[in-house]
Chains A and B, each alone.
Chain A
Amino acid sequence: MDRKYIRNFCIIAHIDHGKSTLADRILELCNAVPRERMREQFLDRMDLERERGITIKAKAVRLRYVSRDKGQEYLFHLIDTPGHADFSYEVSRSLAACEGAILLVDASQGVEAQTLAHARLALEQGLTILPVINKIDLPSADPERAMREVEALLGPEHLPFTLVSAKHGVGVEELLERIIEFVPPPRGSEEEPLRALIFDSTYDPYRGVLPFVRIVDGEIRKGTRIRMFSTGKEFEVTGVGVFTPDMQEVESLGPGEVGYIACNMKNIQDSRVGDTITSAIRPAPQPIPGYRKVKPMVFCSFYPVEYESYENLKEALEKLQLNDASLVFEPDFSEALGFGFRCGFLGLLHMEIVQERIEREFGIEVVATAPHVVYQVLTKKGEVLEVRSPKDFPSPGEIEMAEEPYITAKIVVPSQHIGGIMELCQSRRGVFKDMLFLDEKTVLLTYELPMAEILLDFYDRLKAVSRGYASFDYEFAGYRPADLVRVDILVNRERVDGLSFISCQENAYYRARELVGKLKEIIPRQLFVVSIQAAIGGRIIAREDIPALRKDVLQKCYGGDVTRKRKLLEKQKEGKKRMKAIGKVRIPQEAFLAVLKTGS
């Protein structure tokens, strides 16, 4: 089909603003799914099925639409975007595969932080943005307010609003006509050397890794010898296809078209999101701009609850990795929890998804340690260390400079809660950047925050201080110098490795006191005094003593019943075995979990 009849677009929306329902209506209008197969949230169903390994997720659906106004048939590619800030890079690559974006806003909820972050990405990519107000049929709908908020975001010169009710199909056809009218057709040339943008990929048990691509220039078909720009690895294409939304092989993919490539690729690491595929025979001189290697930002360790499940856990992680190039893991050992895996994630949500899938799909119960970030340390010797664990953090004397990752947070909040949110951000070492009134009642706050500060309960606190109204989105803002120290815990003057943590200098004292206090509660009294100290280098910053026991809690022993006494002692012996002995002191597992909970 002629390129001028192709339109590539995506839908940007906050959760529950009706993205899936709108997609359903578009699929219906394009007769993509026979009526008897049409179910609600069709694309989402595919999602679930994919998780169970039955079919492959349609990340980009090819649709045919005959224009009401022009009478001409058009080819649409509706490209799905991941739904969370953790995947902002993936979002930006999906957007790069489109020329237009539908900015979908709930008429009763208005603009939320995530809509905003994605819309900004779309603007940066130079996409045509079609503002759409959804759910206009709801009694609580306030389309006027929603439109004012979108206007504050896009500026006065934006395309006209389309008012729809995706649920009832109102205004959807109008929207499709506007896509044809306003979203430009793809540029690019068949004559130029092949350049295709990878914006996602999936794993098929029979055909290996399938990269999802948007062709920019040139053409790709069965037999084409392709080369990955970032790695130089070459593959031979065994087939190309599109999603309609079922997988369908096609002859070739040309400029502007979106589909998948099968090329006997075994390792998902070879199909890097944002990478450019070119021809091995006639390579393009320049890749498509914007590629970067995805690096995990958040780390935590998973330990199987039953230590026999270690091998199963390994297998589960390997299987998940087949579909998820951004998941990394390596074996780990903890004094408290035994053998497990240290895993790297793009962000918190990514971590939660992986943990949930391990538990739900593979039936393995895991203990997850508190997430923490990766610190960068320049030593006095001139080495640059990436510190993923407190035990690798050098002592104060060896550090030339330490850096920690920062994020830029966008928080959309009703104006009466601004104070609470700002206090929260200040208390998390946030740096105020900007405040913008989206309308008289809704404010967009921009803050820069150390990533470590948002890892634990930031989101919960945010919801609490705003009575659930604040929405929050973030993106990685780079590494900034920070005054970081490692705090060691000494039990009877012996350092306990598993209890150390990294903190910024200003919080170190407070956190050390908190942890030492907790340990005093957790470590049982013993037959002698136990001292618990927190130290930075050689300097003690906190101390608590656990007094010696004075009397047994269990003492009774009847004359004849020696067997019971012996059994009790045997049972206690088992209990003691599970505790870590530091010198004469036994430390229960719980203590090691406590540091993970206060950690980061």
Chain B
Amino acid sequence: MKELGIYVHIPFCLRKCSYCDFVSYPFRGEGEEFFSLLFEELRLKVHALQLEGRKVCSVYFGGGTPSILAPSLFGDFLRKLQSYCTLSFPLEVTLEVNPETVTEARLLEWREAGILRLSLGVQSFAPRYLFLLGRSASLETLHRALQKVVASGWENWNIDLIYGLPLQDFDSWGEDLSEALRYAPPHISVYNLTLSPVAPLFSFFRRHFRLFPSPDEQAYLFRFAEERLAAAGYVHYEVSNFARPGYECRHNLLYWRNGEYLGLGPSSWSHVGGKRQKNAKTLRGYRKALENGRCPIVFEEELSREEKVFEDFLLLLRTRQGVPLSLVHSFEDQELRDLLLAFVAEGLLLEEDGRLYPSSSGFLLLHQVLAEVFARRVASPLRDLLRRGKRWCSSAE
């Protein structure tokens, strides 16, 4: 039986950050009420998807800002989970943490509750960018939080950084990287600022996009980070993620290996038993379904074998581990194989030990590479027909 990951979406925040497009609501102390909904959902889904006795290898509390909730709730959740499934070893239990919420007491309580990994949303060490991004923590709070994490002896933790900010240059970006490296976290995520139209910062971006680095400049910023982090012993193991060997985020790798995971909470996704399911996006819709004793699922699809193969390909190619050449050779389409060889020739993909993975420049252009691969897949009418028959949530045709 394949190992299972659990993602729990906690949709509460102190306030909305300007770049965020995740589902979240202002926190008014509804932690326990929300966790009772989660427990109900867990019960329904374990039953519906026949997950009793499954081995769970990772639990990820994301958000939102899960770190504002009472730490004991996470312990309650894990105990509840254990009543259905087995927690395997090694286990990874991650909590997304807003540095503002870090106290010595909480750090202890999280550990007691069973949290094993912290992911700190630092984003930047420059006051002007913290302000622009709507992160209200002062630089001092930020540093104190990080010092506490280090002082309390957490072994496995992460710092999130964002690049692609207005007027960002090598100097300011280098400063961010140096500051982060000062705390020597075993894992650093480097995200590109991507604004969806619902993010508050989007209208600023639209009016002043000239202030933001161009895609070329962003590429330089990223390559700069990659070099700095490599020199400090971090491996670029996934598009946006760097880690000291052994500290890769197992939960994320599960996604990129197209593994199985159960999503709980509003707007979360599950991938179990060949099905992809999506939960109701709003807290209201989510609560209503559960109060009526139903799973809060609003979308479901079952993938054809072809689609599954392509998904494996597109997800695996996001990682340094890459795609086994055997998968490439299983493509019947000669043109597609030639295209991949052309990418190798262009230096976008590298071939090593029977695997194909993106080069540094390839990571930055992965979407384009995938778009080309996708565009050249030979479409067979029969295959389209099969695919359409299996999807019940897609539009009526």
Partners in one complex: yes
Distance in Å: Cβ of B288 to nearest Cβ of chain A: 22
A540 in the interface (beta carbon within 8 A): no
| Residue among B194, B215, B370 making CB contact with A549, cutoff 8 Å | B215
| Residue among B216, B222, B374 making CB contact with A569, cutoff 8 Å | B374
| Residue among B219, B276, B311, B368 making CB contact with A527, cutoff 8 Å | B368
A551 in the interface (beta carbon within 8 A): yes
Are the CB atoms of B375 and A552 closer together than 8 Å?
Answer: no
Chain A residues near B368 (CB-CB < 8 A): 526-527, 549, 552
Distance in Å: Cβ of B374 to nearest Cβ of chain A: 4
B236 in the interface (beta carbon within 8 A): no
Among B218, B343, B364, B367: residue with most chain A CB under 10 A: B367
Are the CB atoms of A573 and B374 closer together than 8 Å?
Answer: yes
Are the CB atoms of B239 and A562 closer together than 8 Å?
Answer: no
**Interface SS, B side:** helix
In the assembly, what is the distance between CA of A216 and CA of B307, in Å? 81
In the assembly, what is the distance between CA of A528 and CA of B344, in Å? 12
Are the CB atoms of A563 and B371 closer together than 8 Å?
Answer: no
Are the CB atoms of A560 and B255 closer together than 8 Å?
Answer: yes
Q: Which residue of B lies closest to A527 (CB)?
A: B368
Are the CB atoms of B374 and A528 closer together than 8 Å?
Answer: no
Q: A552-B365, A552-B367 are in contact. Are A562 and B192 (CB under 8 A)?
A: no
Interface 9-residue window, one of B36-44, B108-116, B117-125, B264-272: B264-272
In the assembly, what is the distance between CA of A271 and CA of B99, in Å? 89
Q: A560-B271, A570-B374 are in contact. Are A551 and B215 (CB under 8 A)?
A: yes
B51 in the interface (beta carbon within 8 A): no
Chain B residues near A549 (CB-CB < 8 A): 215, 365, 368
Chain B residues near A572 (CB-CB < 8 A): 371, 374-375
A554 in the interface (beta carbon within 8 A): yes
Q: How many residues of A contact B (CB 8 A)?
A: 26
Q: Which residue of A lies closest to B372 (CB)?
A: A527
In the assembly, what is the distance between CA of A230 and CA of B269, in Å? 79
In the assembly, what is the distance between CA of A556 and CA of B192, in Å? 8
In the assembly, what is the distance between CA of A569 and CA of B219, in Å? 22
Are the CB atoms of B374 and A555 closer together than 8 Å?
Answer: no
Chain A residues near B374 (CB-CB < 8 A): 569-570, 572-573
Are the CB atoms of B268 and A560 closer together than 8 Å?
Answer: yes
Chain B residues near A526 (CB-CB < 8 A): 368
Are the CB atoms of B346 and A527 closer together than 8 Å?
Answer: yes
Chain A residues near B310 (CB-CB < 8 A): 566
Chain A residues near B367 (CB-CB < 8 A): 552, 554-555
Are the CB atoms of B263 and A569 closer together than 8 Å?
Answer: no
Are the CB atoms of A573 and B365 closer together than 8 Å?
Answer: no
In chain A, positions 516-537 with a C-beta closer than 8 Å to chain B are: 526-528
B301 in the interface (beta carbon within 8 A): yes
Q: A527-B346, A549-B365, A560-B269 are in contact. Are A577 and B218 (CB under 8 A)?
A: no
A440 in the interface (beta carbon within 8 A): no
In the assembly, what is the distance between CA of A550 and CA of B224, in Å? 13
Chain B residues near A570 (CB-CB < 8 A): 374
Q: A563-B278, A563-B301, A566-B314 are in contact. Are A556 and B194 (CB under 8 A)?
A: yes
B315 in the interface (beta carbon within 8 A): yes
In chain A, positions 490-546 with a C-beta closer than 8 Å to chain B are: 526-528
Chain B residues near A563 (CB-CB < 8 A): 269, 276, 278, 299, 301
Q: Which residue of B lies closest to A576 (CB)?
A: B375
Are the CB atoms of B215 and A569 closer together than 8 Å?
Answer: no
A353 in the interface (beta carbon within 8 A): no
Distance in Å: Cβ of A478 to nearest Cβ of chain B: 52
Interface residues as binary, B312-333 with A (CB distance below 8 Å gives 1, 0 otherwise)? 0011001000000000000000
Chain B residues near A561 (CB-CB < 8 A): 269
A139 in the interface (beta carbon within 8 A): no
Distance in Å: Cβ of B159 to nearest Cβ of chain A: 18
B157 in the interface (beta carbon within 8 A): no
Q: Which residue of A lies closest to B315 (CB)?
A: A562
Which 8 pairs show the lowest CB-CB distances between chains A and B? A560-B269, A550-B219, A551-B219, A552-B367, A559-B255, A551-B364, A569-B374, A556-B194
Task: Give B contacts to A, CB under 8 Å.
Answer: 7, 192, 194, 215-216, 218-220, 222, 239, 251-252, 255, 258, 261, 263, 268-271, 276, 278, 299, 301, 307, 310-311, 314-315, 318, 342-343, 346, 348, 361, 364-372, 374-375
Query: Could you give 8 example pairs across A and B, Cβ below 8 Å?
Result: A550-B220, A551-B222, A552-B365, A560-B7, A560-B255, A560-B271, A562-B271, A566-B314
